[in-house]
Amino acid sequence: MSISWKLFIAVSCLLSLLSFCSALQTCESHVFSGGRTFRTCSDLPVLDSFIHFSYVQETGVFDVAYRHAKMEPSSWVSWAINPRGHGMSGAQSLVAYRNSTTGLMRAYTSPIASYSTILQEGPLSFRANNISAEYSSDNEMTIFATLVLPPNTTVVNHLWQDGPVMEGGRLGMHAMGGDHLKSMGTLDLLSGRVLASKGGGPTTYMSRVKNAHGIINAVSWGFLMPLGGLAARYMKTYDTLDPMWFYTHVICQSLGYFIGLSGGLGTAIFMWRSTGFRFGPHSIIGVVLFILGFLQILALKARPDKDHKYRRYWNWYHHTVGYVVIGLSIYNIYKGLAILQPANTWRIVYTAAIGFVGLVAIVMEIVQFEKQWGWIFSCCRGSNAKDAGSIVADEV
């Protein structure tokens, strides 16, 4: 092997080692600008964050630096102490973000009274001095402050977050899934140990509400609606299943709509009122689904008799809207899973359930191909188009 190749391999190995070490960087290896030092530090378990502090138990003076790595310039960071509980409500926070116009950092205090906060500036329940922030070239934001806690405080509940900065400098809501629901814990001021929160607080309760929202909608819109569509399309072709197919169709669609209305929409409104958070396209699709579902219910009142000349047009409308609802429902369930970021088991279970429905549909399309699509070939062979249309008009 030539010397140049040996040198190339050696340099590559060195760079890989440096990259690996950088990925494993801990709080202890960090050097602050201006010669700042802190007595204790801890690597926080989520969101690429670190806490550095010095604490004097007798006076309650708490010098802290909160670092958040891998940040976009158009983001905000926050670190808070909650004297009353483990969650967001009641937290006394330090907030920082970078001004998109000037490039300067802004740092301030923000007491959080409820989940609908917009992180507005205000005084904390304890004294906070020397508040500042930095943004480094390696995309890391740091907040510095000196807090004065009640003397002899030894343990505090703390939480940390990041989120987007919107147009006009408005701070947007942080994500409501994954590690953003785990970024809280207990900080031992004497030992520096950080323990992850094990629940019971408001954030845990809100997580349960979001999980209930996902399960209810997955069952109602994501499973019962497609199941009712199967009944209407395939069961009705068998004379022995008439009118069972109709009642099965109506029951599945009605249950899907009203369960989704009471449970799915109810939990969505509760989350909106409690957090002020809006899911964007996911919530818009949800509203569209409820409107289309309501129109389908109204359409039943206007359904013409089977031999009415407008029955075929009503069928075309009813089928088109129905298939749109089913398609949007399945799509929106996966949008919701992407937002909630639950364990993979939930995604696997729903995919298996809707995959089974899809497999049944494929098999039945093959078995009933002549019944479902034979009228097209009859039209192509020049048969009476009116007779062909009457086949369609007999549906539903």
pLDDT in tens, 23-73: 445 677 788 877 788 888 888 888 888 989 898 888 889 999 999 998 888
Residues 129 and 208 in one domain: no
DSSP string, 97-151: EE-TTT--EEEEEEE--STT--------SSEEEEEEEEEETTTEEEEEEEEEPPT
Q: In this structure, what CATH number is given to the domain that contains residue 266? A: 1.20.120.1770
Interior angle at CA 224, CA 345 and CA 291, nearest 5: 110
Residue at 239 is within a domain: yes
| pLDDT greater than 60 at residue 388 | no
- C-alpha closest to that of 216 among 165, 263, 285: 263
Q: What is the pLDDT of residue 378?
A: 64
40, 53 Cβ separation under 8 angstroms: yes
Query: What is the band of 325 on the pLDDT scale with cuts at 50, 70, 90?
Result: very high
Q: Which domain holds residue 214?
A: 203-393
Q: What is the pLDDT of residue 7?
A: 53
- C-alpha closest to that of 113 among 96, 88, 95, 94: 88
| pLDDT greater than 90 at residue 74 | no
Residue at 14 is within a domain: no
Residues 244 and 139 in one domain: no
Residues 101 and 116 in one domain: yes
pLDDT tens column, 263-285 = 777 777 776 665 545 557 888 88
Query: What does the pLDDT average to over 250-265?
Result: 86
Residues 155 and 211 in one domain: no
More confident residue, 280 or 98: 98
| pLDDT greater than 60 at residue 3 | no
| pLDDT greater than 90 at residue 375 | no
| pLDDT greater than 70 at residue 377 | no
Query: What does the pLDDT average to over 348-357?
Result: 92
Residues 325 and 357 in one domain: yes
Residues 50 and 150 in one domain: yes
Query: What does the pLDDT average to over 178-194?
Result: 80
Collect all residues with Cβ–Cβ distance below 8 Å to 234 and sequence separation of at least 6.
Answer: 361, 364, 368
Query: What does the pLDDT average to over 292-305?
Result: 85
Percentage, residues of the chain above pLDDT 70: 80
Percentage, residues of the chain above pLDDT 90: 19
Residue at 296 is within a domain: yes
